[in-house]
Structure 1
């Protein structure tokens, strides 16, 4: 769990921290943010700051960036694109700034000239939309009463 907790951005962790009855974000919001962050990491979309001396990158041409991606990265990019298309642009913008680029909510409000505490509300709306897309809810609901199965043959009665 500690590895997953590191994937939740600080801004979201602060909104979900403390007493669960008083927290602004519910656990399904945290899980949705963690899944979006993991998708972003698998898609390899984070900008590089330093030079990479990887032999596969040194000799390649600039136009072939899409061909060098693994299937996992391409799949993660498609999933992120589907999530972004299903949301309003403002919600996706705030969600991507917080979950993907680790911006603080005050920075987002200043950049967009929004009133105070408005990014917090837009973030919650965006996390609700992502959670509903991914099938996450406030309550854990399992499958209905399924018949139990066994790999052993049915036992014969003893008497």
Structure 2
């Protein structure tokens, strides 16, 4: 993952002791895409002070739609569409874990859920998210392998030159 905030949660769930893991590679790819989308949307709260003149003076307006870049506005629109397509609990856990970097135990405590339930909801959410992104657990393709980008190799030297015995 890019930020390192939720690396430990997803890394623990993706590495199994006996060779099996709770999360598959397509789950991790979906989580990575989602995390980058949240970063691009600039929705994560600021942790440090900003001395930028654009942020000084207005309360609550520094992260509004009117000050967002086109990329951030586009990312917010994509996130809004994803939120509408996913179940509410799955969306909430995905956003908390992958977007805000919360741990599973904190999510369970905040929502008053039983232990280990956030892990299951996270996996269901990542399954749904991977489907929205077009990711699947198995590679699919046309089934035919191509050895070259050209159907037939072109000759290195053209054969249209006259032979030595030809006298024209």
Q: TM-score, normalised by structure 2?
A: 0.77
Q: Which residue of 2 aligns with 1:76?
A: 75
Q: Which residue does the alignment assign to 2:164?
A: none
Query: Does the residue aligned with 2:54 lie in a helix, a strand or coil?
Result: helix
Match of 1:50 in 2: 48
Q: How many residues align?
A: 155
Give the aligned partner of residue 16 of structure 1. Answer: 14
Deviation at 1:143, TM superposition (A): 4.5
Q: Output one character per residue of 1:78-106: Cα deviation in whole Å (capped at 9) or x when no partner.
A: 11111111011111111111111111111
Question: Following the alignment from structure 1 to structure 2, what is the Cα–Cα distance between the partners of residues 45 and 109?
Answer: 22
How has the CA–CA distance of structure 1 residues 81 and 101 changed in structure 2, closer, same or farther, with 3 Å as cutoff? same
- The structure whose residues are more often helix, as a share, is 1
Counterpart mapping for 1:1-159 below 5 A: 4=2, 6=4, 9-18=7-16, 21-58=19-56, 63=61, 65-143=64-142, 145=144, 158=159
Q: TM-score with structure 1 length normalisation?
A: 0.81
Cα distance in structure 2, aligned partners of 1:71 and 1:143: 36
- Distance in 2, matches of 1:104 and 1:61, equals 29
- How far apart, CA to CA, are the structure 2 residues paired with 1:143 and 1:20? 33
Deviation at 1:21, TM superposition (A): 3.8
User: Which runs of 5 or more structure 2 residues have no equivalent in the other structure?
Assistant: 161-168
In 2: Cα distance, 1:71 partner to 1:24 partner: 37
The Cα shift of 1:10 comes to 2.0
Query: Relative to 1, partners in 2 of residues 1:96 and 1:5: Cα closer, same or farther, differing over 3 Å?
Result: closer
Q: Which runs of 5+ in 1 are unaligned?
A: none
Structure 1 pair 108–143 and aligned structure 2 pair: CA distance change class (3 A) = same
